[in-house]
Amino acid sequence: MTFSGTLATALAVGLIPVAAAAQSMSPMRGEVNSFTDVFAVRVFPANPYDQKIKIEVHVYDQDFQPVEAKISPSVFQLASQASRPVLVVVPFDGAPDRKVRICTESIPFPNQQTQIKAQICGKFFGHRKS
Amino acid sequence: MKLFRAAFGAAMLVVCMDQAALATTQNVIFNGTITATCTLVVATNGTMTVSPDLQSLSSHNSGGSAGTVTLTTTGGVSLSVDPVTITTVPAADTTAITWTPTYSASGAHTIAETGSATSLTAPGADLVTVHLAGTKGGSNRFASGSYQATVTVRCE
């Protein structure tokens, strides 16, 4: 199966995301059923600041170890008060279920002595159906 | 005949005036679902100053200031800070530094200063105060130069 076919299947079976403005990331919880070896989640990072910020999206496992997932896009600039969809495709890696954290990260005021990185993480549970 | 028509017309008018207008009503249902949500807005970064014995570089020290973050949530999330992993120190500083990030919160939730995760069950808005302290042990001292550290505040 091609990547696009796999993706389409996973999306068709999976999560129905609810977009909302003025949130740092939505949804923050989700459960996805997939008949393929990956599952897909669409999240919507938002920029609540009055300035453009750089946002990074990362995927971690239960122990906050990085997960090899396809994130489109993983790094981008987001205008003030704007939101945009980010597609995350997570492999099951042979497991029947997989719990991951999808995190939106930003440092709104870089280049200062003590920087604060804001990180909003959603918890997502993928089930592989046979 | 004319009199009959006039009388009949008047009678019909009286009958029609007694009829109530027919009306129907329908309810329009609105549904809304809010899932767990958390927004973090960094208001200010912090500033660290060095202690007189040069073994502490902290936002708690005199002249230092905490960072502040505004948190808004529906509840059902947790707040935490990560161990500090991103730091920049001057080349002259070659000894180990122990970094300790902490936070407290006031508003919808009252959280005393802690480094551990806190569950936020109730909805509301909070002002989160973030502190960072770097310490050196033994005879080690902070050197002159620029230090920079990043504290990760997480809501999940």
Segments making up each domain of chain A, as ranges: 3-128
Across the interface, whether the CB atoms of A119 and B130 are under 8 A apart is answered no
Q: How confident is the model at residue A112 (pLDDT cuts 50, 70, 90)?
A: confident
Beta strands per DSSP E along B82-136: 86-88, 98-107, 111-114, 118-120, 124-135
Residues of chain A with C-beta less than 8 angstroms from the C-beta of B48? 113-114
**Per-residue pLDDT for B1 more than 90?**
no
ipTM: 0.80
In terms of C-beta density within 10 A (0-12 exposed, 13-18 middle, 19 or more buried), how is residue A68 classed?
A: exposed
Q: What is the pLDDT of residue A20?
A: 38
pTM: 0.81
Residues of chain A with C-beta less than 8 angstroms from the C-beta of B39? 22-24, 48, 120
Q: Find the helix or strand (DSSP H, E) in which B15 lies.
A: helix B2-17
List, in order of start, the domains of chain B with CATH numbers.
Answer: 38-155 (2.60.40)
CATH topology of domain A3-128: Immunoglobulin-like (2.60.40)
What is the C-alpha to C-alpha distance for residues B122 and B131, in angstroms, rounded to an integer?
Answer: 24
* Percent with pLDDT over 70 in chain B: 87
What is the C-alpha to C-alpha distance for residues B132 and B141, in angstroms, rounded to an integer?
Answer: 17
Chain A residue closest in CA terms to B33: A18
